[in-house]
Structure 1
Amino acid sequence: MVIAMKKLDVTGDICPVPVLKTKKALEELNEGEELEVVGDYKPALENIKRFAENNGYTVVLAEETESRFRIVIKK
């Protein structure tokens, strides 16, 4: 079974915008689908991760490089 993955790029956005965009994108997903969020404002990674975990979503992957982050969340 192929899991559909939606992508969301929040590059250039600072909090709370990345979390708000992530929340909206997750609401549009069907159960079992995944959302990949990428961006460059590193504090957003922890905020998005915390939001996802506190709202019953599964964080499949959370990683960062020197200048970017990537998080995959399953609904």
Structure 2
Amino acid sequence: MSQYPDFVATIDTSGLTCPLPLLRTKKALQTIESGQVLKILTTDKSALSDFQAFAKQTGNTILLQEPTEVEGTVVHFIQKR
């Protein structure tokens, strides 16, 4: 397991499918400052590629994406541009 980056907020979108994890992430990013990091938990199978596309489109940076100890859950760390 990787060393997690420092983050200022966490959102849990477990059980939600696209586009809800992305919409909740977009809303949460509006509440933090530039350079701060948001932690997102997802269970949607397409979340890895969805978040990569989201970051590319929005200019935010994905610092880390990896599975957690919980089966089917992936953690994403996105730094606000």
TM-score by length of 1: 0.85
The AA in structure 2 aligned to 1:31 is S
- 1:57 and 2:60 aligned: yes
Q: May I ask how many residue pairs the two structures share in their alignment?
A: 73
Q: What are the ranges of 5 or more consecutive residues in structure 2 without an aligned counterpart?
A: 1-5
Report % sequence identity. 36
- 1:17 and 2:27 aligned: no
Q: State the 1:4 CA deviation.
A: 4.6
Superposition misfits of 4+ residues, deviation over 4 angstroms: none
Q: What are the ranges of 5 or more consecutive residues in structure 1 without an aligned counterpart?
A: none
- 1:70 and 2:52 aligned: no
TM-score by length of 2: 0.79
Secondary structure at 1:37 match in 2: strand
